[in-house]
Amino acid sequence: MADIWGGPLERIDDYRWRIPKSYKSGMRVPGIIYADEKLLKDIRQDRAPEQVANTAFLPGIVNFSLAMPDIHWGYGFCIGGVAATDIKEGGIISPAGVGYDINCGIRLLKTNFQYEEIKDKIRDLVYVLFSDVPSGVGSKGEIRVSEREEREILIKGARWAVEKGYGVREDLECTEEYGALEGADPLAVSGRAYERGKAQQGTLGSGNHFLEIQVIDMVYDREIANEFGLTEGQITLMIHSGSRGFGYQVCDDYTKSMIRCLQKYNIGVPDRQLACAPVDSPEAKAYIGAMRCAANYAWANRQCLMYLTRKVFEKVFGMRWQEMGMYLVYDVCHNIAKFEKYNIRGKEEILCVHRKGATRAFGPGHPALPEKYKKTGQPVIIPGDMGRNSYLLVGTKKAEEETFASTCHGSGRVKSRSAAIRTLDPNRLLRELESKGIVVKASGRGTLVEEAPQAYKDVNEVVGVVHNSGISKKVCRMRPLGVIKG
């Protein structure tokens, strides 16, 4: 099969490949893609490397335009893309570098259950979760909020949910940014975004969002696993969702309005989808305030989803969630822009770090981490597809030095949603999953085939690259038992 992307990729080492600055006139920095030779074949079957090169045109970009091994085509930026801009050097912020599902992210819960104890209850749990946790396109939840409460959510994030009784304070300590970004500006959000967000708190949504019951089937680092209270055979849960229609609308509003900034600020980019504005401009400040609102909405949403999940387990087992040990390990976001300090040219600078389909991966001792994770480094949660595995890793100092403390966020698509629907049979897929002991409930047959394992890269290979390259470190692997898809 001929490559779709035929541009230059220079080998740096076994896990890094460089797109040289000379590839396109106007690139300010080289591009670097993390991959091994096997994954590189899939990557060349997609035009995402061209987006890595295009991102290198952005004003103020520092060091490299980066892509993780789960790279695939996205809007403007590739999914799996990381780019940091220096504010002092005219650095920009771009809505395309965050994405439409602002703070799409994932949280991992542990339990006291071993697989043998509850293996006969998996089907019951899946059916009750599917019944009690709203999912699907345009899904609405029972957690309805007034306009005043919605504004509170945009400021407080997950803290709003905890204050309402949908969790405990310990949940906030185990959430990135403690569940809220400061500086959210509800006045920067459109009326349409408010309308779309009003009824979607505590809803899973559609597409690749999921709720999954898993079992730990491999432990790689027993010392860190012990620190987290995790052992082989233990039941865990993953919740993957984001800011729903609210975040989509925020991105849509600002992606359109920022196109005018390209001319206004004399910014030259090869793709209008990379519309952006200097971080210190009024347009950028408005977007940052609205983006933080959407991020906080997403953290509140995942907190509410965890509350509903705990309630289902209480219903099925007749015990309080605390007795079942259903504590949050961590919550990380995948689509965000953050202001973080890094050593650039021998000086500490504040950079605007875009992570689109990439996970923050702070190493041990980082000041932003809560005390309980300073020794181990930040937990990094990497979901796979519903037929293979997911992983828990930790961040490293090497990630802070090489990738602006970033790593992959999942397995990455190799087949578009429309191609998956055209080529895959939902009945056969269900039989295959059942034969592996995986119970699946989805709100539609289309969603099921869109999210089939065949539509994704093998997460084991993707995680192998980030582990072997040293930008994150494997702790344990989880196997799916029951999956709820939106």
Catalytic residues: 409
| Spatial distance between the Cα atoms of 424 and 429, rounded to a whole number of angstroms | 8
The SS3 assignment for 200 reads coil
Residues contacting residue 465 through CB under 8 Å, at least 6 positions apart: 15, 34, 35, 36, 39, 69, 408
Please, are residues 277 and 258 in contact by the beta-carbon 8 Å criterion? yes
Length of the chain: 486
Listed in order, strand segments (DSSP E) in 345-469 are 347-356, 359-360, 379-382, 390-395, 406-407, 439-442
DSSP for 114-125, please give it.
EHHHHGGGHHHH
| Spatial distance between the Cα atoms of 288 and 95, rounded to a whole number of angstroms | 9
Residue found under tokens 């709003």:
160
What is the Cβ-side half-sphere exposure of residue 56, based on CA atoms within 13 angstroms?
27
DSSP for 314-328, please give it.
HHHHSS-TTTTT--E
Compute the chain's Rg from CA coordinates. 21
Six token digits for residue 240: 């993957």
Question: How many DSSP H helices and E strands does the chain contain?
Answer: 18, 19
